[in-house]
Amino acid sequence: MKKQYLFAVLITLFLMCGTSFAEAKNIVIKGSTTVLPIAQKVAEAYMKANPGVSISISGGGSGNGIKALIDGTTDVADSSRFIKGKEVKLAMERGVYPVPFAVAYDCIVPVVHPSNPVKDISMDQLKAIYEGKIKNWQDLGGPKKRVVVISRDTSSGTYEVWESKVMQKGRVYPGALLQASNGAVAQAVAKNKYAIGYIGLGYMNKDVKPLTVNGVVGSAETTLAGTFPISRPLYMFTSDWPEGEVGKFMNFVVHPNKGQKLVGEIGFVPLY
């Protein structure tokens, strides 16, 4: 709610700037809420470095962002998935050629209490735990205690990754505890010996123990190598190869010392 109001205020401010300084260059960014923090952070830095430019950012989901790109109502579409065939076809019909830029990677790691003897878990086991089918740590080689399942609110980007990579078509069972942020999940797991949760790689701390998934350690290296199963690239799409201000902005986003440094700071895995 707060965030949305903030955006509304920001957008209004930008619109006002736009009318008062007809010369100002505008960039419109729309789409995935997962990519939103990246877009926000990078846009702030970019506007600071280039005072004449105003960037307006809004969420709405990957699908809406790409739709806006096809309709020509946005310059950059944030997306937490690759563009679908259907969307490409529609874009071509409208004469728009979407160009993908990978801007960061998302890496979600299952975590348990440091005292838990379990070290490795398979994707099938994770799915069964979150569907409520595995209820006891005994089935996973741990103590004879009930598993306390901790999940995220269904509209978060982290949950979205979990749902698409781990749950596949399954649903997280209603008995799973809900926490509203990565930090809260880490906190809840750190305080409960028999809990399991999942957090973004950037939120890992020493009070929780990361599990290896199918024997693979969740890290920036395994994410970039594509071997860690609960990870995905995040994209920004532009219509045609970006030129002018949008081109400069995209260069800024993927620059190792500029945009990518910020990406790492807010808990995502940078490209390099």
Partner 1 sequence: MSNIRQLKERWMHYFFFGIATVSITILLMISLFLFAEGLPIFKIVSVKDFLFGEFWYPTAEPPDFGIYALIIGSLAVTVISAIMSIPLGVMTAIYLAEIATPQVREFVKPVVELLAALPSVVIGFFGMVIVAPFLQNILDVPTGLNVFNASLMLAFMSIPTICSISEDAIYSVPTNLKEASLALGATHLETIVRVILPASISGISTAVILGMSRAIGETMVVLMVAGGAAMIPLSIFDPARPLPASIAAEMAEAPFRGDHYYALFATGIVLFLFTLIFNLVADHIAHRYRQVGEASL
Nearer to partner 1, 101 or 173 (CB): 173
Nearer to partner 1, 85 or 174 (CB): 174
- Write the CA distances from 254 to 13, 180, 264, integer angstroms: 27, 30, 12
Nearer to partner 1, 94 or 146 (CB): 146
Please select the residue that binds partner 1; options are 61, 65, 197, 259, rule is CB under 8 A.
61
Task: Give yes or no for residue 85 binding partner 1 (CB under 8 A).
Answer: no
Please select the residue that binds partner 1; options are 15, 16, 92, 177, rule is CB under 8 A.
177
Nearer to partner 1, 61 or 242 (CB): 61
Least distance between partner 1 and beta carbon 64 (Å)? 7
What does the DSSP 8-state code read for residue 24? -
Task: Give yes or no for residue 183 binding partner 1 (CB under 8 A).
Answer: no
Please select the residue that binds partner 1; options are 29, 30, 59, 252, rule is CB under 8 A.
59
Query: Judging by beta carbons within 10 Å of its beta carbon (0-12, 13-18, 19+), is residue 48 exposed, middle or buried?
Result: exposed
Rounded to 5 degrees, what are φ and ψ at 151?
-125, 175
Where would I find the H helices in the chain? 2-20, 36-49, 62-71, 85-93, 123-130, 157-162, 182-190, 220-225, 244-254, 259-265
The Cα angle at residue 31 between residues 247 and 60, in degrees rounded to 5: 155
Please select the residue that binds partner 1; options are 26, 50, 122, 192, rule is CB under 8 A.
192
- Write the CA distances from 180 to 7, 133, 141, 197, 215, integer angstroms: 20, 24, 29, 12, 29
Question: Which residues, 6+ apart, have CB-to-CB distance to 180 below 8 Å?
Answer: 152, 153, 156
Rounded to 5 degrees, what are φ and ψ at 2?
-60, -45
Task: Give yes or no for residue 191 binding partner 1 (CB under 8 A).
Answer: yes
Tell me, letter by letter, the H, E, C secondary structure of 102-126.
EEEEEEEEEEECCCCCCCEECHHHH
Task: Give yes or no for residue 60 binding partner 1 (CB under 8 A).
Answer: yes
Fill in the per-residue mask, 19 to 38: x = in contact with partner 1 (CB under 8 A), - = not in contact.
--------------x-----
Fill in the per-residue mask, 64 to 83: x = in contact with partner 1 (CB under 8 A), - = not in contact.
x-------------------
Task: Give yes or no for residue 84 binding partner 1 (CB under 8 A).
Answer: no
Please select the residue that binds partner 1; options are 193, 248, 258, 261, rule is CB under 8 A.
193
For the segment 100-159, give every residue that binds partner 1 (CB under 8 A).
145-146, 148, 153-157, 159
Instruction: Give the residues lining the site for partner 1 (CB under 8 A).
Output: 1-4, 33, 59-61, 64, 145-146, 148, 153-157, 159-160, 171, 174-180, 184, 187-188, 191-195
